[in-house]
Amino acid sequence: MDSVGLTDAPGDYGSSNTVTLRVNGKASDDIGFVATLRKADEEILATVTFVAGVDTTQTTKTSGAQAASLTEEEVNGLKIVFTSAV
């Protein structure tokens, strides 16, 4: 499992009412992966999956808009977690 933290909301950030996770990647023939957008408390806001042996061409996948009311502090605590999947 790997994760990337997001920590730099703009200074004039107000609030957010939707989130969308967009990931550009590809799976191998043997290993795929799941990318999840999570709040600092580990609540999952959005998920995209790249399936082993199926999603083997570089592509961009999008989770679709998910309702989420996020403060500036919550935006600064967001992270994207990548987990391998067989």
Residue 6 CB contacts under 8 Å (≥ 6 apart), including other chains? 75, 76, 78, 79, 80
pLDDT at position 10 is 65
Burial of 21 (0-12, 13-18, 19+ CB in 10 A): buried
**Per-residue pLDDT tens over the stretch 31-69:** 999 999 998 899 999 999 999 999 999 999 999 877 878
Residue 7 Rama label (left phi>0; alpha psi -120 to 50; beta): alpha
Q: Which residue has the tokens 């083997």?
A: 56
pTM of the model as a whole: 0.82
